Amino acid sequence: MRGSIAPIDHHADGTQQLLEGRSPKNRLTAPYPGHYEPLVECGEQVSEGQTVGYLHDFYRIDEEPYRMVTEVDGVVIFQAWGARVEQGQALVGMAQVIR
């Protein structure tokens, strides 16, 4: 193969990042089944203590929703995409920038 390959997208504009997210603190899981309401977008930077979503328990509609609060600073790398979630399901995942 001849020629050169030009960098694309994030690599070309220098915004590509290497992330690390292996710590259990990087994942927020549902303590009970319910409906998840995200407050942030994937790719967004979040801070420790920030509420990133709410878990609504429709069997207890008179109670306030459960606040999904981060334990770490990081970038949101995934979220539950369907409103209905199961107990123990990972709802939000964060990772930290390595470089």
In a domain, 32, yes or no: yes
Number of domains within the chain? 1
In a domain, 72, yes or no: yes
Does residue 42 have a pLDDT over 90? yes
**Global pTM value:** 0.81
The whole domain housing 92 covers 28-97
CA dihedral (88, 92, 95, 96) positive or negative: negative
Distance between CA 91 and CA 1 in Å, rounded? 44
Does residue 47 have a pLDDT over 90? yes
SS3 25: helix
The two tokens of residue 26 are 């990087």
In a domain, 18, yes or no: no
pLDDT of residue 18: 81
SS3 55: strand
Q: In the predicted model, what is the mean pLDDT of residues 7-11? A: 73
Distance between CA 85 and CA 54 in Å, rounded? 12
In a domain, 15, yes or no: no
In a domain, 88, yes or no: yes
Q: In the predicted model, what is the mean pLDDT of residues 23-40? A: 96
- Specify the CATH number for the domain of residue 81: 2.40.50.100
> ∠ at Cα 75 (90, 48), nearest 5°?
80
Largest CA distance in the chain: 67
